[in-house]
């Protein structure tokens, strides 16, 4: 899943400092309500915002908005601060020497959605090859919101299926994939009866017949065994990555259950998007999938609050 595409979803709420209760978005206590704040926040950050300490940059390219704070488009996420060579993948010829001040930008889809007559907001930020700018964007949003609304804070909470989260705890699981990358020779010897010269990626898949499931997401995650090193253990082999096909909305989607922090909990939409000639997902295809997932988050969150 090195080039996987996944939207990271978050729930955004407003609180008075030191209080857990949700503050209504229409509260007269707020000088600038969330709908007005996000409308201006996006328009104010359409030029490069540069963080020299983190050597990162970003800016919004808005494509759609409803005038009430909801917005969709791209955040252009950049990295800089180091030199590197750009080499032709086919000829291996050196084409360009990246300078320390050059910024490598990639377009990442975003959506800010404020459901009508609700006191919650949902945001989705696309990840690409483990890269996401959600932290940079939301940290700035929090600071600016509190500056405009003294004594009030903007909170954002992950809405990702993961261990310890009950967001999709009862959702059915259709398939489980256990992956061990660069498997040593003793693993390949065991199944092939001979040593393989190069290291291989070893994968085990557990799936069910039609209309059957492996169990709920909570049950499947809870049933995974861990070895002494903390890796997932199955049939005497330790696996470093685990993915489950979880029913999210009306379809089963791959979700990173265990592995690197960049993939854990991320819903993989790679199979449902259309890539352009530049290798990035088309705007319309990622927009459709991201909003479908946010809508499912909305249904779960609002039903849990009832």
The mean pLDDT value for 52-71 works out to 92
Beta-bridged to residue 97, according to DSSP, are 85
pLDDT, residue 199, reads 74
Evaluate if residue 40 carries a pLDDT over 90.
yes
Whether 137 and 179 map to the same domain: the answer is: no
Range 78-97 burial, b when 16+ CB lie within 10 A, else e = bebeeeeeeeeeeeeeeeee
Evaluate if residue 305 carries a pLDDT over 70.
no
The mean pLDDT value for 4-15 works out to 90
Window from 42-56, 69-83, 157-171, 225-239 with minimum mean pLDDT: 157-171
Mean pLDDT of the chain: 87
Distance separating alpha carbons of residues 202 and 134, to the nearest angstrom: 32
Residue 32 lies in a domain: yes
pLDDT in tens, 124-168: 998 776 677 888 999 999 999 999 999 999 999 988 777 656 788
Helix axis angle for 34-44 and 134-148, nearest 10°, is 120
Q: Looking at per-residue confidence, does 221 or 215 come out higher?
A: 215
Q: What are phi and psi of 83, to 5 degrees?
A: -95, 155
Whether 252 and 211 map to the same domain: the answer is: yes
**280: Cα within 13 Å, side-chain hemisphere:** 15
Whether 24 and 153 map to the same domain: the answer is: yes
Element (H, E) at 289: helix 283-305
Residue 146 lies in a domain: yes
Evaluate if residue 306 carries a pLDDT over 60.
no
Whether 86 and 37 map to the same domain: the answer is: yes
pLDDT, residue 183, reads 79
Whether 142 and 203 map to the same domain: the answer is: no
Question: What total number of domains does the chain contain?
Answer: 2
pLDDT, residue 257, reads 83
Indicate the pLDDT class of residue 1, thresholds 50, 70 and 90.
very low
Whether 21 and 91 map to the same domain: the answer is: yes
Distance separating alpha carbons of residues 299 and 191, to the nearest angstrom: 45
User: Model's pTM, two decimal places?
Assistant: 0.84
How many Å separate Cα 111 from the centre of its chain?
12
Region for residue 55 given its phi and psi (left: phi exceeds 0; alpha: psi -120 to 50; beta: otherwise): left
Distance separating alpha carbons of residues 204 and 56, to the nearest angstrom: 38
**Domain end residue (candidates: 106, 125, 158):** 158
Boundaries of domain holding 147: 5-158
Whether 194 and 94 map to the same domain: the answer is: no
Whether 144 and 199 map to the same domain: the answer is: no
Evaluate if residue 228 carries a pLDDT over 80.
no
pLDDT, residue 302, reads 86
Whether 189 and 259 map to the same domain: the answer is: yes
Q: What are phi and psi of 192, to 5 degrees?
A: -105, -15
The mean pLDDT value for 191-218 works out to 84
The mean pLDDT value for 24-28 works out to 95
Whether 134 and 182 map to the same domain: the answer is: no
Whether 110 and 13 map to the same domain: the answer is: yes
Evaluate if residue 3 carries a pLDDT over 90.
no
Whether 130 and 178 map to the same domain: the answer is: no
């Amino acid at each position: 899943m090195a080039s996987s595409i996944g939207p990271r979803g978050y729930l955004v709420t407003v609180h008075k400092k030191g209080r857990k209760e949700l503050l209504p978005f229409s509260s007269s206590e707020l000088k600038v309500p969330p709908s007005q704040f996000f409308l201006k926040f996006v328009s104010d950050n359409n030029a490069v915002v540069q963080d020299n300490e983190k050597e990162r940059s970003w800016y919004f390219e808005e494509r759609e908005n409803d005038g009430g704070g909801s917005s969709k488009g791209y955040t252009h996420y950049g990295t800089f601060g180091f030199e590197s060579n750009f080499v032709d993948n086919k000829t291996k010829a050196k084409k360009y020497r990246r300078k320390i001040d050059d910024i490598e930008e990639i377009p990442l889809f975003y959506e800010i959605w404020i459901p009508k007559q609700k006191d919650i907001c949902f945001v989705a930020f696309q990840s690409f090859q483990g890269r996401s700018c959600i932290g940079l964007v939301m940290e700035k949003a929090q600071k600016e919101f509190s500056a405009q609304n003294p004594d009030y804070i903007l909170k954002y909470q992950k809405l990702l299926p993961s261990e310890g989260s009950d967001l999709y705890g009862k959702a059915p699981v259709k398939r489980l994939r256990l992956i061990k990358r660069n498997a040593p020779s003793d693993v390949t010897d065991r199944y092939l009866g001979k040593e393989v010269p190069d290291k291989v990626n070893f994968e085990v898949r557990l799936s069910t017949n039609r209309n059957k499931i492996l169990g709920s997401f909570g049950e499947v995650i809870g049933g995974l065994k861990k070895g002494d090193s903390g890796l997932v253990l199955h049939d005497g082999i330790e696996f470093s990555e685990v993915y489950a096909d979880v029913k999210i909305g009306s379809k089963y989607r791959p979700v990173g259950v265990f592995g690197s922090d960049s993939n854990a909990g991320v819903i993989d939409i790679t199979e449902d998007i259309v890539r352009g000639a530049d290798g990035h997902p088309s705007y319309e295809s990622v927009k459709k999938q991201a909003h479908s997932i946010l809508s499912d988050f909305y249904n779960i969150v609002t039903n849990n609050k009832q």
